[in-house]
Every structure is written in C-alpha cells, then in structure tokens.
Chains A and B, each alone.
Chain A
Amino acid sequence: MSLACLSDDQRFGLSRRVSLPGPLRLDGGATLSPVEIAYETYGTLDGQAGNAILVCHALTGDHHLASPHPRTGKPGWWQRMVGPGKPIDTNRFFVVCANVLGSCMGSSGPASINPATGRAWGMAFPVITIRDMVRAQALLLDHLGIARLAAVVGGSMGGMQALSWAATYPTRVAAAVVIASTARHTAQNIAFHEVGRQAVMADPNWRGGDYYDGEAPARGLAVARMAAHITYLSEAGLTEKFGRRLQAREAKSFGFDADFQVESYLRHQGLTFTDRFDANSYLYITRAMDYYDLAEEHGGRLASAFEPATRFCLVSFDTDWLYPTAESRAIVQALNAAGAPASFVELSSPYGHDAFLLESPELDRIVAGFLGA
C-alpha cells in the first residue's frame, strides 16, 4: 500500500468518527448496535499493518491525544509523549487513540441518541465494563485493518484497558505499557467513586439521568470532580501548591466563602469540568472502573489473565495513593508467575497520581526504550 493511498484513506487522520454495525456483546448481557467510535490516528500504517500502537485514555479523557482540541484549541492531552521524535514516535509508529465506550466525546454513551427512541439514552444506556471498552476498540482496529498491535499504552484507566487488552486478546498485543494503574478497583477506589456518583444523583437537575432537554446536573458533577481531583494529587503536592494560603484576602472571612486557595482551586476544577463532561457518562465510566477486577475475570488468579506472548512495562509513582506501587507490584508478581517478560519501575514524583501526565524525562526514556526494543 503506498503512502499516497493511505493519506487518501478516510479511515485515517484527526477527528475521525465511525459507526460500526456491531453488534457488540457487553459483559452486562446487553448488545449494542451500532457502535459509534470517535478516534484519531497519527503517523503511517506500514504495509504489513505491523507498526500500530493503541493509546488508551483515562476517565475523562478523549481521543485528541496529540493534536489540538478542535473546540478549545488546547494541545492534545499527551502531546508531550506522542509525536514525531517523541517517546511514542509517530515517524515510526502508527498511533491510534479512540474515545472510550460510555464517554461523551463522540463514542456511544448515555448522551448519544438511542436509535430505538430517537432520544438520548440516559440511564437506558447499558452498563459497560473496561473489557467492553476494549472490545469496542477491537472492532475499530478490525475496521482499520490492524490484526495485531505493536503495543497498547495507557495510564490510569488507560492502563486498565491496556491490561484488559493483553488479557482479552493476547495474540493481538505484542507489548503493553501500563502507567500508574491497577488490576482491580479497591474498596477505597470504589468508595471515592460512589461519593462522586451520589453527588451527581443528589442534584435535583439529574432527574434520573433524563436531563438532556433541560439544565444539566452541573453542581453535582462539580462536587464529584472536586472529590476525585483530590485523589489525583498528593498531600505534599497540595501543601506545596497551596499550603494554608488564603485566596485574595488578608484574613479569614468567618463565613463559607472559598477562603483558602485550595478551596478556590477545587471549585474552579469542578466548574470547568462540567463544561466539558456529561454527568451520566461520569456515572457509567466510574461504574466500569469499579466493576474492573482482572483476577475475578480469570478464576480469581491474576496470573491466569496473562500469557508469555506479550511484553509488559509497568511504571508507578511513589506519591500516587490512588493506584499505589503495591498494585503495580501485584501485577508484576502475576506476570512473573505467568512467565511474561515484564519490566517495572517506581518513579519518584511529588505530584501523586497526576504525575503520569506531567513532564518526566525518566518516564519518557523508559517508554521510548521499551517500545524501541
């Protein structure tokens, strides 16, 4: 296949969207048809379709991986990592990033139109799992003509998908990079998500998820985001950034205004989030993460989830208390037991879980070296 032919191919490029007939059988028992997927591709697929890397995004991410967001103009969320000459080098690799099932950025989710009713799905959208997201991505790869991935890469929920890819389609994944992630959601992870969901559902505007004709439950979603955002940072990071400093005032107000900088920051984070994210999508995706337990899907033994055919690279961060190093270590032990080639390193960062998205020359070096091998 010539380069010219590829560049004319409407399947490849930025801001792509495809409606695949499916049907997609979901873990919950329902089937979805058709399956809409929004995605982007970078670089050129080689003649054997052997240089494809799938990058999986996190909870509230999107498929604008390394290109400016078409609406906001903001740089792609991992532009640091993906591009010509970057650790995930688009001169060498053909990179795909797809918006996850259940999201609100263009792929099928509760905010999309239910073909049966002509109205938004709302809570009639089937509950999905991480593995369902992966199965939808597999449909997309079939459509793109990619039988086997050179690598699947992801951080946080993206890492869960990368692990799920290796477990669900071991023959389709040569290598997996799993950053700041886990093989299961713990009671604490579920607990934080439940606080967020309850905040959304307690907002009178939520109306059982049927709010698309009126006001969105923005206040509830903002509170959900505030609670979640705390889990992405470290105590030391918060102290360094805000301490007990007051927000644009000399003294405490003896009221309930945002006296502290950290309060003002969280309120801002919550508010801006509601501009870009759908509350029902937040419910569905957090649910998918809570249901995720890779060992449970494989008879309770994590090692049974993996085959030696896939190479793995895991990275954790020492101040990440959302998915701490111990979770990565448990995965590494399972990979050792399964005989899979595995690399693992805990990197030092003051920034908690969010470190995986921030500047880290060590991470860049590891990812580039692992993918280059």
Chain B
Amino acid sequence: MTLRPDLAIIAAHVARGSRVLDVGCGTGDLMAALRDRAGVDARGLEIDAVKVADAVARGLSVIQGDADVDLAGYPDASFDYAILSQTLQTARAPHLVLDHLLRMGRRAFVSFPNFAHWRVRLSLLWGGRMPVTRLLPEEWYDTPNIHHVTIDDFRAFLRTRGIVVKRAWFLSGDKEIGGAAANLLAEHAVFLLARNHQG
C-alpha cells in the first residue's frame, strides 16, 4: 500500500519498536505500516465510527473518540511519538491538543495543509472566494477544517509555547521542497516537535 506523502515521511522517521499514538488515525494506514514495517506498538484515536471499525477489523488498537475531549484520559509520557496528521486544523482547540501530544509523547509529529500556499492566496486575492483545493476540498460551509493555519503561523505559535522544531519537511505536490520559501510554496508541512527542555 502507498502511504499519503506526509504519512510516508512520518513512517520513515519513527524509530523501530517505539510506542506511537496516532490521533485522528482514520482507517489506520499509518499504524498498519508502522506495525508491519517497523514493529511499532501503535495505538489510534479516531472520531468516525466506520473508520474505527475498519481499523479494528484489520487488527489495530483504535479507540473511537474526539481529540478535543478524549486525550485527557491518556497518561503522561506514555508514548515515544504522538502523531497528528491532517487533524490540527479540525480541532476546536488546536493549542490544547498540541499540549496533550507533547504531554503524552516524548516527540510529536504534526502535519497540516498550509493555508498560505500561493494557490490559496491567489484564490482569495483574484477570486475573492474561500479556496477549494486538492488538500482543502470542502466548501466553506461544510468543511471540517475550522482552524486554517499557515506554516509561519505555526512557527510563531510554537515559539510562544516553548515548543522546539526538531525537524520539518515541506511538500509541494507530492515532492519535498526546501524550507526557505515554504510558507509560499509548500502545500503541506510536517513538523517533528519536542518540548524545549528536552535534548
């Protein structure tokens, strides 16, 4: 199975045999890849019951729940990595979700669509309409993406919350690009984060 590009980046950088919580795991594609290729002990949280059933039916440990509500029940420092892929922008309180990720996990992977990509900017600037793109395919009224965020917003946000970027990857199309003009050129970003007191 081919993983979505952001998931492929995450999968390639999770250490073998580690413990992982995938928040918003969907049907468990990343979890299954981590389990099968790297012997990872993967747990998942997913809000959609049908997706949870799919994931459980493939033998994964997935709990139906809401990242905004149910992360509080997980103990501190219980995972090597907490992963939030394409889910940050759907959270009611993304800042609190991120706090939980770095409370439960030693490190956190966060991936999200960049709202400052040039195609999004053009759509607003020339069309005067809310952008509907490949990564943000829903109309404004039925989108689950209620907290649009740009790469520069996210970087500034991490600075104010004392979170360190261990590594970042930027994607245009499905190809990796450099970080220099990422806020304009990247459709998609993946960050590996840690609390600043950690080495």
Complex contacts, B43 vs chain A, CB 8 Å: 341-342
Complex contacts, A347 vs chain B, CB 8 Å: 49, 53
Q: Are B73 and A369 in contact (CB under 8 A)?
A: no
**Are A362 and B63 CB-contacts (below 8 A) given A336-B74, A336-B75, A341-B43?**
no
The stretch that binds A, out of B54-62, B93-101, B163-171, is: B54-62
Q: How far is the CB of B17 from chain A (nearest CB, A)?
A: 15
Q: Are A341 and B56 in contact (CB under 8 A)?
A: no
Which among B53, B74, B75 is the interface contact of A366 at CB below 8 angstroms?
Answer: B53
Which among A333, A342, A362 is the interface contact of B61 at CB below 8 angstroms?
Answer: A342
Bound together, the chains give a CA A371 to CA B54 distance in angstroms of 14
Bound together, the chains give a CA A346 to CA B50 distance in angstroms of 10
**Are A369 and B58 CB-contacts (below 8 A) given A341-B43, A345-B64?**
yes
**Are A369 and B61 CB-contacts (below 8 A) given A337-B75, A348-B49, A362-B53?**
no
Complex contacts, A339 vs chain B, CB 8 Å: 75, 78
Write the chain A residue with the least CB distance to B44.
A343
Q: Mark B65-89, 1 if CB is under 8 A from A, else 0.
A: 1000010011100100000000000
Q: Are B49 and A365 in contact (CB under 8 A)?
A: no
Bound together, the chains give a CA A49 to CA B187 distance in angstroms of 54
Q: Are A346 and B64 in contact (CB under 8 A)?
A: yes
Write the chain B residue with the least CB distance to A308.
B41
Does B189 sit within 8 A of A, measured CB to CB?
A: no
Does B185 sit within 8 A of A, measured CB to CB?
A: no
Q: Are A336 and B73 in contact (CB under 8 A)?
A: yes
Bound together, the chains give a CA A342 to CA B63 distance in angstroms of 7
Complex contacts, A337 vs chain B, CB 8 Å: 73-75
Size class of the B contact interface (CB-based, 8 Å): 20 to 34
Complex contacts, A329 vs chain B, CB 8 Å: 65, 70
Q: How far is the CB of A104 from chain B (nearest CB, A)?
A: 36
Bound together, the chains give a CA A365 to CA B49 distance in angstroms of 13
**Are A369 and B74 CB-contacts (below 8 A) given A341-B61, A343-B63, A344-B63?**
no
Q: How far is the CB of A85 from chain B (nearest CB, A)?
A: 16
Complex contacts, B53 vs chain A, CB 8 Å: 345, 347, 362, 365-366
Complex contacts, B192 vs chain A, CB 8 Å: none
Does A288 sit within 8 A of B, measured CB to CB?
A: no
Complex contacts, A311 vs chain B, CB 8 Å: 61
Complex contacts, B70 vs chain A, CB 8 Å: 329
Bound together, the chains give a CA A345 to CA B63 distance in angstroms of 6
Q: How far is the CB of B189 from chain A (nearest CB, A)?
A: 29
Write the chain B residue with the least CB distance to A343.
B56
Does A273 sit within 8 A of B, measured CB to CB?
A: no
Q: Mark B33-56, 1 if CB is under 8 A from A, else 0.
A: 000000001010000011011011
Write the chain A residue with the least CB distance to B43.
A341
Complex contacts, A369 vs chain B, CB 8 Å: 56-59
Q: Are A373 and B73 in contact (CB under 8 A)?
A: no
Complex contacts, B56 vs chain A, CB 8 Å: 313, 343, 345, 366, 369-370
Q: Mark A309-338, 1 if CB is under 8 A from B, else 0.
A: 001010000000000000001001100110
Q: How far is the CB of A65 from chain B (nearest CB, A)?
A: 23
Interface size on A, residues (CB 8 A): 24
**Are A332 and B63 CB-contacts (below 8 A) given A313-B56, A337-B73, A339-B78?**
yes
Q: Are B62 and A343 in contact (CB under 8 A)?
A: yes
Does A118 sit within 8 A of B, measured CB to CB?
A: no
Bound together, the chains give a CA A297 to CA B99 distance in angstroms of 34
Bound together, the chains give a CA A362 to CA B54 distance in angstroms of 9
Does A255 sit within 8 A of B, measured CB to CB?
A: no
Which among B49, B55, B61 is the interface contact of A346 at CB below 8 angstroms?
Answer: B49
Bound together, the chains give a CA A332 to CA B53 distance in angstroms of 16
Q: How far is the CB of B143 from chain A (nearest CB, A)?
A: 24
Write the chain B residue with the least CB distance to A373.
B59
Q: Are B57 and A365 in contact (CB under 8 A)?
A: yes
Q: Are B63 and A372 in contact (CB under 8 A)?
A: no
Write the chain A residue with the least CB distance to B57.
A369
Q: Are B49 and A345 in contact (CB under 8 A)?
A: yes
Does A139 sit within 8 A of B, measured CB to CB?
A: no
Write the chain B residue with the least CB distance to A332.
B63
Q: Are A366 and B61 in contact (CB under 8 A)?
A: no
Q: How far is the CB of A196 from chain B (nearest CB, A)?
A: 33
Q: How far is the CB of A371 from chain B (nearest CB, A)?
A: 9
Does A368 sit within 8 A of B, measured CB to CB?
A: yes
Bound together, the chains give a CA A368 to CA B59 distance in angstroms of 9
Which residues of B, 86-112, contact A by the 8 Å Cβ criterion? none
Complex contacts, A345 vs chain B, CB 8 Å: 49, 52-53, 56, 62, 64
Complex contacts, B63 vs chain A, CB 8 Å: 332, 336, 342-344
Instruction: Report B's interface with A, CB cutoff 8 A.
Output: 41, 43, 49-50, 52-53, 55-65, 70, 73-75, 78
Instruction: Report A's interface with B, CB cutoff 8 A.
Output: 311, 313, 329, 332-333, 336-337, 339, 341-348, 362, 365-366, 368-370, 372-373
Interchain Cβ contacts under 8 Å between A and B, 9 examples? A333-B73, A336-B63, A336-B78, A341-B61, A342-B43, A343-B63, A344-B52, A345-B56, A369-B57
Other A-B contacts than A336-B63, A344-B63, 12 sampled, CB-CB below 8 A, are A311-B61, A336-B74, A336-B78, A337-B75, A339-B75, A341-B41, A343-B63, A344-B62, A362-B50, A365-B53, A365-B57, A373-B60
